[in-house]
């Protein structure tokens, strides 16, 4: 009898095919299938010599039948309704103990619902965040795994074999039950949005404030990529700024319409932060900036009415570099704060040091800073408050003055810096033991008799404004 496949990959789009090839390269026997069956042949031709480890199937029944039991099936299909339809189609073919994985970017509430529904049928459902784009999936992604321990034992050897490695450590971990993996991936993407927005703001300050050309700005990013800002996003930004458009000969960035797309994970992060009683203001600013960017016509009209002047700035590269680093630390800090809140709300006991570790390679936000963050969380830091970690506080003390200088110049000069401005607003709020919410409480009690707490006293108090 032919050897059964160790895993099935259903969905041979960009990410699914890259993951299947990565597995085949590790010698793993992979059953593959796709809704549009004509994709399967094309995929096998692309696989070349790796096709020997790939078992193609045109029917779902044949695909499921080819899997060693208990079965593991990775679905790489669009999230939402297609995933629910797929579950309905495949579940009757499965047996107790089998595991279905959703490797797409899914809303973790849907993952929790699907896990609970399938658990009633003794089928395990894993929400797994996969980061790193096509190249990551093909040569080593970072993977954030939810679901049961049973599924993790099934998946661990395969995922460990295909994961990115940071100094030998595979960038994959079982982070918690049900939706934990998808939630951590969502916050990863929120941080990704904030970091990309900060990069865009710093680029804008160099481009329109320092009046430098894209190529020379690209060189600055390339230099920064050798220092504390080293990261995949800084690296690709530097490279992107070095390209010219073949059709016009202009810098490529100059022919791209300044309207950013978004598929929803940044927005989910903001929504969940608010639901959890938090506010990830930098991620919110990044999502907002993408939304505002898509109002291109309004912006063009407003420039004529409101004036689009931006003054020339006098800022050195080192000041911008430190401002960027401060903002980056604060965006990670906001992201981990949401993870901390979710961990408590959903009883996940997320391991923040491990999350930082598996983000050090393979994923889109991989950066030198994550090494410092994993150490900070590992050094007996209780809670998810990164700004309280001594190593992070020291880096902030060194870099915050630059963020203040850059923001003061940018705001006075009319440059848009919403994410960096959100960063300093949050930082200054959090570093003051006595804030100004006392007057908010006074107002609430004055107009609505909502009551307030007195310092050092129990109970709810009112007045004296009633006399």
Supply 105's token pair. Answer: 């970017």
Restricting to residues 92-121, name those near ligand 6PG by CB under 6 A. Answer: 105
Supply 133's token pair. Answer: 């784009």
133 binds ligand 6PG (CB under 6 A): yes
What minimum distance in Å lies between the beta carbon of 364 and ligand 6PG? 4
Residue 54 or 253: which CB sits closer to ligand 6PG? Answer: 253
Q: Which range of residues in 59-67, 125-133, 202-210, 342-350 is near ligand 6PG by CB under 6 A?
A: 125-133
Residue 100 or 137: which CB sits closer to ligand 6PG? Answer: 137
Supply 31's token pair. Answer: 């059953």
Q: Which residue, 108, 172, 116, 114, is CA-closest to 145?
A: 172
CA distances from 182 to 79, 269, 362 (A): 12, 11, 17
262 binds ligand 6PG (CB under 6 A): yes
The closest residue (CB) to ligand 6PG is: 131
Q: Which residue, 263, 139, 134, is CA-closest to 192?
A: 263
Strands 142-145 and 172-174: parallel
Q: How many residues bind ligand 6PG (CB under 6 A)?
A: 13
Among 263, 296, 431, 450, binds ligand 6PG (CB under 6 A): 263
Q: Which residues does residue 7 pair with via DSSP β-bridges, in sequence order?
A: 30
Burial class, 61, CB count within 10 angstroms (exposed 0-12 / middle 13-18 / buried 19+): exposed
Among 168, 249, 261, 307, binds ligand 6PG (CB under 6 A): 261
Q: Which residues does residue 9 pair with via DSSP β-bridges, in sequence order?
A: 32, 74
Active site residues: 185, 192
363 binds ligand 6PG (CB under 6 A): yes
Q: Which residue, 127, 73, 126, is CA-closest to 95?
A: 73
* Pairwise CA distance, residues 94 & 98, whole Å: 6
What minimum distance in Å lies between the beta carbon of 330 and ligand 6PG? 20
Q: Which range of residues in 59-67, 237-245, 262-270, 425-433 is near ligand 6PG by CB under 6 A?
A: 262-270
What minimum distance in Å lies between the beta carbon of 196 and ligand 6PG? 8
Among 265, 281, 334, 374, binds ligand 6PG (CB under 6 A): 265
Among 11, 16, 56, 132, binds ligand 6PG (CB under 6 A): 132
Query: Per-residue DSSP letters for 307-359?
Result: ----------HHHHHHHHHHHHHHHHHHHHHHHHHHHHHHT----HHHHHHHT
What minimum distance in Å lies between the beta carbon of 256 and ligand 6PG? 15
List CB contacts of 457: < 8 A, sequence separation 6 or more.
none
Residue 6 or 269: which CB sits closer to ligand 6PG? Answer: 269
DSSP state, residue 205:
I
256 binds ligand 6PG (CB under 6 A): no
Question: Phi, psi at residue 244, to the nearest 5°?
Answer: -110, 150
What minimum distance in Å lies between the beta carbon of 265 and ligand 6PG? 5
192 binds ligand 6PG (CB under 6 A): yes
Q: Which residue, 90, 25, 87, 85, is CA-closest to 57?
A: 90
281 binds ligand 6PG (CB under 6 A): no
* Pairwise CA distance, residues 175 & 128, whole Å: 10
What minimum distance in Å lies between the beta carbon of 96 and ligand 6PG? 32
Restricting to residues 368-427, name those near ligand 6PG by CB under 6 A. Answer: none
What minimum distance in Å lies between the beta carbon of 418 and ligand 6PG? 17
Interface positions with ligand 6PG (CB under 6 A): 105, 131-133, 189, 192, 261-263, 265-266, 363-364
């Amino acid at each position: 009898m032919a050897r059964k496949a160790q895993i099935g990959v259903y969905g041979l789009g960009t990410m699914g095919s890259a993951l299947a090839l990565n597995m085949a390269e590790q010698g793993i026997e992979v059953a593959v299938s796709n809704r549009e069956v004509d994709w399967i042949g094309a995929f096998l031709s692309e696989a070349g010599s790796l096709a020997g480890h790939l078992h193609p199937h045109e029917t779902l029944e044949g695909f499921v039948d080819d899997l060693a039991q208990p079965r593991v099936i990775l679905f790489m299909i669009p999230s939402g309704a297609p995933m629910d339809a797929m579950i309905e189609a495949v579940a009757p073919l499965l047996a107790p103990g089998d595991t279905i994985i959703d490797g797409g970017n899914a809303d973790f509430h849907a993952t929790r619902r699907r896990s609970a529904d399938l658990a009633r049928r003794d089928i395990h459902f894993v929400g797994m965040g996969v980061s790193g784009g096509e190249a990551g999936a093909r040569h080593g992604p970072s993977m954030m795994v939810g679901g049961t321990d049973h599924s993790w034992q099934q998946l661990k050897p395969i995922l460990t074999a295909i994961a990115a490695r940071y100094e030998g450590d595979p960038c994959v971990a079982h982070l918690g039950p049900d939706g934990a993996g998808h939630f951590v991936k969502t916050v990863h993407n929120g941080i990704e949005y904030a970091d990309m927005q900060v990069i865009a703001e710093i680029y804008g300050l160099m481009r329109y404030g320092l009046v430098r050309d894209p190529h020379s700005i690209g060189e600055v990013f390339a230099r920064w990529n050798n220092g504390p800002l080293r990261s995949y996003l800084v690296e690709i930004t530097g490279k992107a700024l070095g390209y010219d458009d073949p059709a016009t000969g202009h810098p490529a960035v100059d022919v791209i319409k300044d309207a950013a797309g978004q598929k929803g994970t940044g927005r989910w992060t903001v929504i969940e932060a608010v639901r959890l009683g938090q506010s990830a203001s930098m991620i919110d600013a990044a999502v907002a900036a993408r939304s505002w960017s898509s109002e291109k016509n309004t912006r063009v009209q407003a420039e004529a009415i409101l004036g689009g002047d931006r003054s020339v700035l006098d800022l050195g590269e080192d000041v911008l570099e430190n401002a960027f680093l401060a903002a980056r630390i604060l965006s990670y800090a906001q992201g981990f704060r949401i993870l901390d809140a979710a961990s408590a709300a959903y009883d996940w006991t997320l391991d923040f040091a491990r999350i930082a570790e598996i983000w050090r390679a393979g994923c889109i936000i991989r950066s030198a800073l994550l090494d410092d963050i994993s150490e900070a969380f590992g050094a007996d830091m209780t809670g998810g408050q990164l700004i309280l970690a001594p190593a992070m506080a020291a880096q902030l003390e060194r870099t915050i003055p630059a963020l203040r200088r850059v923001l003061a110049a940018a705001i006075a000069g009319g440059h848009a810096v919403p994410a960096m401005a959100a960063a300093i607003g949050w930082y200054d709020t959090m570093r003051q033991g006595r804030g100004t919410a006392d007057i908010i409480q006074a107002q609430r009690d004055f107009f609505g008799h909502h009551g307030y707490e007195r310092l050092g006293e129990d109970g709810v108090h009112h007045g004296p404004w009633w006399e």
